[in-house]
Each structure stands twice: as C-alpha cells, then as structure tokens.
Structure 1
Amino acid sequence: MGRPVRARRAPPAPRRPGRRDGPPRLGRGRRRDGARRARLRAPGRIRRLPRAARRARRRPRNDRDRRPLAGRLRHGRGRRRQVARPARVDRRAPRRGPQGSAVVEGVGCRGHPRGGVRAQRRGRTRHGRPRAPRLPRAPRGHRAAPARTRRPRCRRLQDRLHAARPERREPHRHRRRVGHRRRAPAARDDRDGRARDEAGRAARRARRASVVRRRVRHGAPQRRDRARRAPEARARDRPARDAPRHRVARAARAPRRHRPVAHARPRVVARLRGGAAALRRAGALLRRGDRQQRRAHRGRRPRARRRELARLPRGPGVSAAPREVARGVWLVPDTCNVYLIVADRPAEDGARTAIAIDFGAGAALDALPALGIDRITDVLMTHHHRDQAQGLPRAVDHGARIHVPPVEVDLFARVDEMWATRTLDNDYNVRQDRFSLLDPVPVHGTVPEYRWWTVGGVDVRPLPTPGHTVGSVSYLVHRDGERLAFTGDLIYAPGKVWSLAATQWSYTATEGPAMAVLSCHLLADERPDRLLPSHGDVMTDAVAALTLLAERMNAYVDSRRWHDWNLVDRLRNPYVPLTEHLLLNRSSLSCSYVLLSRTGEALLVDYGYDMTTGLPTGQDRASRRPWLASLPALKKQFGVTRISAVLATHYHDDHVAGMPLLRDVEGTEIWAPEHVAPVLADPWEHDLPCQWYEPIVADRSLPLGETVRWNEYEITVHDQPGHTLFAAAFEVEVDGVKVVFTGDQQENLGLPGERREILNYQYRNRFRLGDYVASAQLYRRIAPGLLLSGHWEPRTTDPAYLEYLLQAGANLDELHHELLPLDELDLGADGVLCRLYPYRAAAEPHSALDYRAVVRNPHASEADAVLTPVVPHGWAVEPSVARATLAPGEERELVFRVTTGDAVSRRNRLAIDVTIGELRLGQHVEAIVDVVVAERV
C-alpha cells in the first residue's frame, strides 16, 4: 500500500442558538472542530495527533477538566487515541440509560476491543464517512411491505425501534448516555459538493432517530403489557390512524419516577483489577436457607422473589377493637396481643369467666363488658418482657392469679432484686433482662411445662420454646377440633420474628437464635393448626410458618459461625451408641449417658442442660433453661418406654439441672450417692460453687462402696474426691465391657510421653491433697475398659494409661508441697481452717438462727482455738466467745445462736474471728442472712 492521502479540512458547520457543538469528547482536553481535530487518512486508520497538539490536549482548559481521573471517566473522558477497525454494521437497538435516554454501546476502558466510539459519536464511520443511524434487526421471518403500502421512512424507523428487544444486550459492554440535542458535524471532504448534502441528510436522520428514542422511552412498559394481551385487546387499544403522532406518544408516556434500587444499573467508573466486572462475577457470601440465591444480571431485572407463605400482617393498633379468632378465643390488641379464652362452663357463682394469655397494659379488662365476660380468673405469661406484663398490677387488683414460666419466676416476683444487683458498669451482659417489670408482682405459681393442666376451666399444655427469651413458653389449647398454639414472641409471621436483638443472649455467641430453631421444630412436631403470636397476625399454616422460620434462623446462626451448624440433625439424632445398650447424649451439657434395659426402660447417668446451644451470660435463674428436648428421639429411635431412674455423679448444675423436670414429667427417680444427696437437698448449707437454684431431694440415697441393682445391671458406687469433695464414680458392666463413669474428675485425654493429662480440680470444691492419687488407685483396682467423663470423649484404657494417671496425681501433690508451707502449718490445699454452716439463711425479724462452726488445728502440737462471732448492729449472739483445745489436726464443732434485728434487709453479713494457738487468722469465715417478711421466706 502507498502512502495514504491526507484529507483536507472542511469549514466548521454554522452553530445554532442554544445547541452545543456536539457530545463531550473522550480526550484529556476539550476537542474543537478547528485546529485540533484528527486528520483523516486512508479508510484503514485514523492518524495520531501531532506532538504539539497532544501537549495542548494535556493542559486542562477549565475546572471541569481538573477533576480526578475517575470523575472524568464517569463523564466519558479519558481516551487519547482510537484505532478504527473495518466498518461493522451494528443493528442492535439503542440501549437506555438510567433515565430512559439512548445510550451508545462500546464506551469502555482504554484498549477496549470495540473502539471507534469517537467516530460513532460524531455521526461518522471508522472510515470517516457519514454514518447512517443504527436500526434494530428485523425479526426472523419478517417480510417487507410493497412499496406503495409502505409507511414513510421515519414511521418505519419508529416501528422498528418499538419492536426492538432490549433484553438482547451484551452484558459485558459498557454504555454511556448520549444527549439527543446533538448534530452530526459536516463532512470534511471538499472533493465533491454532494458530500456535504449527504452529511446533512445523515444529521437529519440522526435527529429523527433521537426524537423517536425520546418518544419511545417512556411507553415501553405499556407496550409490553399490550403485547402480552389478546389480539382483540391490542386492536382495541391501538390509536386511531388519523390521530396526531406526537399526541399519541405523549399520551402513552408513563410518569417519570425514580427507579427501584433493585432495578438500577450501576454506572461503571473505572475497571481497576477487575472492577465492576469482578463484583458482578462474585457470588453471595451467604445463601438463604429457604430458596436459591437470587442474582441480578446486567440488563435484566432480578428474578421474582419466591412468594411468602402468608401476607405480612400489619401490627394491630392500640385502638383496634377485639375480634374473635376462634370460638370463645378473643384477641385484644394492646402493647401486645392479649388472648382471652372463655371457659366452657360458668363458674360456681354463674359468672362467665376467662383466662388471659399475656396481659399487655391491661386493655383486656376494659374490653370485658363488650365481650360478655364477667371476670378474668388467671393470667398465663409467655415471658417476662414489659410489653407483655406491664398491666399485671391491674390484674392483681382485679383478683386474677398470675402464672409465670418457672425459669423466669424471679423476674416477676423478685424483679426488685434484679434491679438492685444487676451489673451496669462495664456490662457485657447483653440479654434483655432489664426489659422487665419495674416492680415485683405477687405470683400464684409457675406453669407445669410439658403437662396438660386445667386452669380457670380451660385445658392448657405449656411447652418450653426458648429463643426470644431463655425461659419463654408457648401454650397449646384445643378448641373445636383445632389445636391452637399461643407462641408469645417466638414467631411474628411466617419466617419472621418480632425481635432479633432479644435472641442475643451473650456478647458474641448464638445461643438464642439456635434455641429458636430447635423450638420451631419441636413446636411443629406438635402439629398445631394455627399460631397466635404476641405480635403479628394469626397464622393458619402453622407448620409451614415454623419450618420457614427455622430455616431462615439457621442461616442466621451460620452467618456468625466459622462453619455451618446442622441443628436439625442435632435435634433428631442426639444419641450416639457406645455399645449396644450404652448411649451418649452429644447434645447435652454436661455429657449424659443412657443405659438401656431389655425391659424397654432406661437409666440416665447425669442430666443437666439437655439439647443446649451454649450458656447465656449471667448466673441468675432466668439465664438457665433445662428442658427435655432429646427425649422424643430417645423414645422413637431406641424404643424406650420409660426412664425409670437417673444417677448423679456430683452436685454441679450442669449434671443435675434437668433432674427435677425429668421427675415431674416422666416420673423418673433421682438416685444420688449418700454424701451428694444432702448437698442437693440443701444448697444453702455449704459454701460451694455451681449449685442449682432450688433444692433437689433425692428419691434414693446410694451408700458408698456398695452395689445396687437396676434390672439386669449391677452398679457399684465408689467415693471419688478430687474434682469436688462430694463426688462419686459408678462402675457397671455393659455388653461385656466394664465401664466407669468418672464425672468431671479429669479429661481422660492424656497420652504418656505426648499429651499431659489435665486434672480438673478447683479449690472451692473442697479439693484435698491426695485425692487424685486415691482415684488413680481406684481405677487401677477396677481396671475398666472404658472411662466416661462429663465433658470429654470416651476413653478406652490400658495398664500404661492407668499408671500414668497415678503418676499425674503424685506430681500434683509434690507441686503443692513445694509451693505451700505445709511443713510448718497444715493449711490444706484451699487454706481454709474454719467453716460456718449454714452459709446462707433466711429468717424473719427477731428470729433465732443456729450456726455450726467447724475449726481444725493446723499445728503439729496441741493448740487452743478462740472463735469470736461478729454480727450486724442490733443483732445478738450467744456465746460471744467460744473456746476449745484441739489436738494436732483435730476438727471440732462449736455452736452459736444468732438473733436477727428488726430491720428487713437482704444479704446481712456475719463472720467468725479465728485464732488457733499463735496463729491469728482474723475474720476467717463469713455467712449470709436475708431478713425478710414471712411471705418472702
């Protein structure tokens, strides 16, 4: 090829008033039609500008060009050179920008494979020739009408633009808005005068196409709707042929409005290391549990959302009228939904009575005359929150009895203690226990969980459903063949809850939401027909609503964990067989074991927090939830007909918390070793950690060192101090394997020469030197094949491991002898030489309390012990001083009688000042006394 001929410049076209010279240019500086226009060469290439012109372009001409590079790219500036490629007809329809105006495809980053935008924007091809307006491709099978029946060219252009399908767009192409008041520049070729006329015609065609685009852009939705309808409907809606075109287009124009965020197309600023394209390719961080992830593709609207199971209800207004949701069941809108259930039979005095589930602010009392109800006999609370209970003082004045969940009784009857003792400074307890009543109310009793109960003439079954709060319950009621579930705030609507903040029981964990998942499945297993929540509307498809909420809440739990948590599998398969007749409950805290009998009965070893998802923050009663969530799986999978007994290895709450409920619901007997049973029966007697809140009276006390028989099994009880002074080990042979249940004595995971065995001792548990040597000798004498602990994996044993445990116990004693002055004074491992019993007590004003002080001589010789009691001002004590002479290592019990004062107060302190020989210990031990009125004892 020869040297291309440079085309001569044509004079600039005359400017029109009110019109700009053309669209914004893509270079660094502003392009003009004069000296800095690109010189055209042969059709194959556009020549680069001279060096002087390029330097002039780098200088910003005004403040607009001083913007950052990202800002200039946003407005279509930043390209310095374009390379023309062979002409290619683009028959696609013009794209529409954020406000519906026409856009040009191909405005992209530097080096985009489809260049030539500068020539397109100026109405010329890549070869510098005037460019015809882009037209959409005719649909397949289209045949052109005869020449005499064809409509004018501008009308045919409009029809073809109407038929364009905006879905056929390449999503990887960038786009840019084009102003419609632009004119194509005149041709630069002076070789023939006809070139200028051709340029003028091209400019007029471009203006006509721009006008058509403006008329089309607002009527697309209406046209799409008409296209989907029947032909006769489209013919009826077609405008008259003789109607003016501009009026028809204006009438069909939809009102201008902002686009929804879900339908907005993001404007690409720059492609930096993948940029927006990488974001579009990125998948979702988390997927919804109830449906596949929705993705919004460029150029398309997001896929339609899956229809919910029910329309989201509007919350009832305070002024809304009561309505009957079932026969004799009235919903009274208040600060929460209050449900009045009318008794089937009138009271003895002929009155028409009802019970209330939750009470709100007390609006139910105002609605009684309109409903034909004479009085409310009982109020059943689902949980302790103030929006459920703030009207309870009105209920008490009305004469109604208050029944509350057993876990949350203190937040009703003794909520003043919570307000007095709740930590406020540096508070990491995020539970909503402060969303409780401001003052206590008298409580008639707690609801019997899991059992049918007749209250106020209505049969009700309370079920534990923790989630919204730790102690939440739901109530099942049968009415006209339907099973109604009053769920409190467990669920608000299908798949939704009233509050997620209430489910956060600790600072970073997910105990509450996980419990809500389990509660939804357990309540769905009861097959309720309708759900009646405290907030929200009544739900008719109860099982589907609960299942949807469980799936969504499980996804929420997984979003705050490193790995997914299959809570459904945890609920349905909590038991792992160790042998044919020995099971491990992997869902409980601590580990609970099941011994299966040929008779179909089962015996449990320890039963603390069943089906737990973690322990919430705090140690108050309302923070601990025992329940029986794993028992349905035990009965269904292993054919258990009755749980006849449960053994306690020691007194700690994580081993015994569920025993009282198990006895109340299943009729299970509680068996405890003879030195553990008194601690369970009177938790205030000893100053010990980890005791349950209420007394647990054992049904059978097991003597130490003896064997008891249960069905075909013989169980031997061994004293096992170490982890605590009050602990025992149980020996039993199951399926030919000798098994020892060790409680929390040690972790049973040590490997000689590889991993050290951790001995689990605590000093307040009354740990003594020599305890672990004694327990290791016990294991070596029994020679078990399997050691089962309270918190760690089962351990098969061999003689080497048993010998290793003995060596670990000896090393522990040696360390204490090296660190403590035991050769001079036998202070013991915990350093306590005097103890006072009971440690806690409650008494009325001016009442007497008897205390026992047990003192031990730490000297190697005989010594005199002097004990002086110290009591609050206004109290009396006898004797004022107690003396005793003690032999070396001897313990002696001394008795004191304390008389309380007249002031009612809690946590009064008294102490014993101890001197043994020349050892002055001072106020060595204390005790706590609550002085209360008779009703609060």
Structure 2
Amino acid sequence: MRMPSSVHPFSFETRIVAVTVALLISMMPGLCIASPPETLSPHVTVVRGAVNGVAIERAGHRLVVYGDPERSWETAELVLFTHSRRDVAWAGRALVENGAEAVVPADEADQFSKVEDFWSGFWDKRFHDYAQQSTRVLTSPLRVGRTVRGGDELGWQDLSVRVLDTPGYTRGSVSYFVKVDGQEYGFVGDLIYGDGRLMDLYSLQDAVPEARIGGYHGYAGRIGDLIASLKKVAEQKPDILVPARGPVIRDPAAAIDRLIRRLQAVYENYLSISAGRWYFHDQYDVLASRALGGDVKVPWMPYAATIEKTPPDWIVPIQNSRLIVARDGSAFLVDCGSREIIDELAKLKNQGRIASIDGLFITHYHDDHTEKINEFLSAHPCPVYVTPIMEDVTRHPGSYRLPAMTANPIDRLTVVPNGHRMSWKEFTLTFYDFPGQTLYHDAMLVERDAGGKIFFIGDSFTPSGLDDYCLQNRN
C-alpha cells in the first residue's frame, strides 16, 4: 500500500492486487449503494450500506447493531459493536455522540477509547513493522459505555442478548445472538460475508504462538481462530445472520460450511507450497492442525534439489548478502541490510581479497536487505542498480505502508529497464523485474565468461516453495 507523501498519514490509497484466493475476497455487487430499509421480522429492520445497520424496536425503544450508515435513525439506547475497525465502527459514531450507549468487546476497548496511543506513535512505528496488524483504527476516540466478552448476557427491554467471543477477523471480536419475533438472530461482524465468502485475507495476518511463528511469518495466522469461531456460531443454530457488511444470510449453516471448506482449501494450498516449511519444519504441522484438523495430511510439495557444497570461489556469502568477486579483485555486492556486512567488506579489503566495490544491486525493499545501503555508500561510492518497479519504494519508503520497511530513503539509484544486460569485468549481468516475496522485487542473472550462471532472486523462493509469509507484502 502506497501512502502519497503529501497527504495526512490517516489517508491511504489502496492498491488492490489480484491473487489466487480471489474467491475469498470477492464482494457482492452494490455493497456501497444504499438500499431502502428492509424488514426482516416485525421488530427487526436492516439498512444496507457500506456497513449494515440493524435496528431492533421494542415498545418505542431502539437497539442498534453496527450503527446507522444512512442516518435512518436519530437516536438509539444501545449500539452494539462487534469489533473496533474504523471501516465498520464509523457507522455507529453519530448515534453514540447523540446519546446512545456504546457496547464494545472488552478485548478491543482501548481501540475505541485510546486511539491516540496508536496514532501518536504510528508515524515512526510503521517502519520496521513485523507485527503487521490492521491500521484501520479510529482516528478519534469513541465513548465506551460498557464492555462485554463471551458468556455475558445483555438484558434490554424483554430481550436477552448473548455474547460470544469470535476472534478471527480481528483479535478480539465478539458476536451477539438474540431471539426476536421467534427468529434466532446472529450479528457476527466480519466473520463471514454473504454465502461463504470473507471480506479479505489480509486482516488475518498474525503471530501463532503455539507454533512459535511471529507476526511477519504468520500468513493468515488467525485462520484457525476464524474457523473455530465459525463453528461456534453454527452451534448457536441461528435462523438469520446479519454480518457487518454484505448480504443477510438466511441459510447460516450452509454459508458457514461453505466458507470453512474454502478457507481450508486455500490454506492447505498455501502451506503445501510455502517456503516456511524449509525454515520452520514441524512448526508447519502445528499450523496445519489448527486450521485443517489433526487428521489432514498436507500434500507438501517435494523439496527441490539443493547444492550442498560451497558456492564457487567468485561468490562470497556475507549473512544474507552475496559478493561477486572478479579476477582483478573488483567486487559487486547484492543487498546490504546490516552493519556486519559493511564490517566484513572492510575486512576483506584489508586482507587484499577485494580491491574495490564497483556496484550494488538491490533485490527488494525489506529492511534486512536495504537498511545500511546509505552507510555502505559512504564508504564505497558506487552505482546502486534497481529496475523501475523498485525505484519509488526505495526512494520514498515513507510513502508506503508495507512490512519490514526501512526508514532510510535511497536516492543514489541507477534505474535500468527490465531485461537490461550489461558487462562488468568477466561477467554479464541481466536485471529483471521479479515479483516474488513482494510485489517490489528484482532479480539479477550473473553469467561468467569461463562458465557458470547464478540467478540472485532475493527472498523469492526456497527448496520448499514460495517465500511468502506476510499477506501485506502483496497489499
């Protein structure tokens, strides 16, 4: 996601990227087109807009779920919020400011009432961010009347509203269930969208502590929580589900079953071709068990053949960088993310193993590959090569909201077109636009005149599959 540098940090321009899991993020036509109020039963009305608003009327009193997206009701006694994200919670603000009591999940109360704590640090904390939680946080606080968690019951008029903890789409979501007009209603937030869909997968990114997987590596990490919550909702045997967004669901059991099967199919496919298994091994069995069940056997992609011997003598590995060394001692560096790399280069030079460094190539923008490039250039002034897809994100990192982002702009770039070939010493270098782990990713093919080719592809692949653990790398 790129943030134009000339706008306030709360404004975002979203780039929507087509992905193979489009079936989960597809949205029904007319989502943001206001619809006239629809009577679901004599005392329950829904207004469809960018967010659904639900009103339950009893003896001249009104309880609202989610909010009032079309300003259909001036007042309410209670507004029930299922989660704190501002792309839903905004719909209830006017009613709360007009006197309604806001009922919010206890585990997300601070995201309603203490939003300054988030935004005051965001401008700096957005760099080197590995937790990768949603920034759809309210930009001003909303007055909280009471907090609820699973097992609570809210008495209102002659009704009893049951609260169920349903984490998944957010960490602390709740759902509300109430019987009105002989119908069991469920208000489940963004747990489901329509007939077996989900608003997006990006929001599920999170750490998985039981698998010892951190936030950056937790691809759709809350998918197991989401599936467990969907099963809990199904156990309530609701007649009607009204999500925060999307169509009213009149066959909840079928819609929930369809979404669970789709989630599991997508996640099994992801696990089977993920590079994570190369690094985390048995921890991926834990991930599979959480989402797919203990008896499911993931069809893991066979490991690719690997070369166990050391690289040729003209390649020097330095942490996650590689140094290409010519016969005359000239060198060409791939990536520079740490001070230790610069120190090792100085050591190699002092030992006479290299005479100079003639260029640097950046594979991708992540801080462990770019953080120390400017410091490197102070000691070794040389061209820094990227293709056009990498130019803006490296020159203007502050204009983007992406994982593992350096705060250091790199201005001294030599931008070459995709497929550009150049000769350097006894090598031919070919530069490629190579989206892989991220959309902003390059690769370089190095061919030596005496024979030997090496394709430097950054963090795009491992022998077990695609090196992609963080959904936000593609959003």
Give the TM-score normalised by structure 1.
Answer: 0.25
Larger radius of gyration: 1
Q: Which has the higher contact order (CA 8 A, sep 6+)?
A: 2
